Amino acid sequence: MLRKLDDLARSDLIVVAVGLLLALATFELVRATVENLIMPIIFGLFGQSEFPFLSFTINNTEFAYGFVISAAIAFAIVCLLVIPLWKAHRRYEGESGTRDCPECLTPIPSAAKRCPECTAVLTQVSSSSSFDPSGG
């Protein structure tokens, strides 16, 4: 039982859980910002005092486009926050000094000549190219 808990603590599950919690908290912050700071400005432009009243009616069916606008603004703000973080993560991941073994996909040091897991012979990879399975 303790071994399984130790494996769980080392796995990416904890990283994913923490990331999900941070994402939910960030989204709540963005939603509150949109509803309480940005939307009052839009209300002023449309002349409405409450957001649910931004709607139109076709054949006695009411379409509340105000909620769609709010969701679109929140989505755009989240994207503006997430895309730079993702790019920074990808840049950091590329500079980690490790690469995956092409045979067993075990993370190994970039300078390794043989995989410690499957003992596959590895070729050196320049920083601008990828693994060459032909060995050349």
Question: Residue 81 contacts by C-beta under 8 Å, 6 or more apart in sequence?
Answer: 26, 30
Say whether pLDDT at 130 is over 50.
no
C-alpha pair distances (Å), 38 with each of 34, 42, 83: 5, 7, 21
Domain-embedded: residue 134: no
Residue pair 117/104 in contact (Cβ under 8 Å)? The answer is: yes
Say whether pLDDT at 5 is over 70.
no
Higher pLDDT, 117 or 8: 117
Could you give the number of structural domains in the chain?
A: 2
Domain-embedded: residue 39: yes
User: Which range is least confidently modeled, 28-32, 47-51, 83-87, 123-127?
Assistant: 123-127
User: Which range is least confidently modeled, 4-8, 52-56, 59-63, 81-85?
Assistant: 4-8
Domain-embedded: residue 122: yes
The domain of 55 spans 2-94
Q: CB burial class (10 A; 0-12, 13-18, 19+) of residue 81?
A: middle
Residue matched to tokens 């999900």 = 20
Residue pair 111/120 in contact (Cβ under 8 Å)? The answer is: no
Same domain, 16 and 73: yes
Domain-embedded: residue 136: no
Q: Mean pLDDT throughout 59-63?
A: 87
**pLDDT tens readout for residues 6-48:** 666 666 777 788 888 888 888 888 888 888 888 778 777 777 6
CATH number at residue 57: 1.10.1200
Distance, in Å, from the CA atom of 5 to the CA atom of 112, rounded to the nearest integer, reads 31
The number of residues in the chain equals 136
Query: Which pLDDT belongs to residue 38?
Result: 80
Same domain, 18 and 76: yes
pTM of the predicted structure, to 2 decimals: 0.48
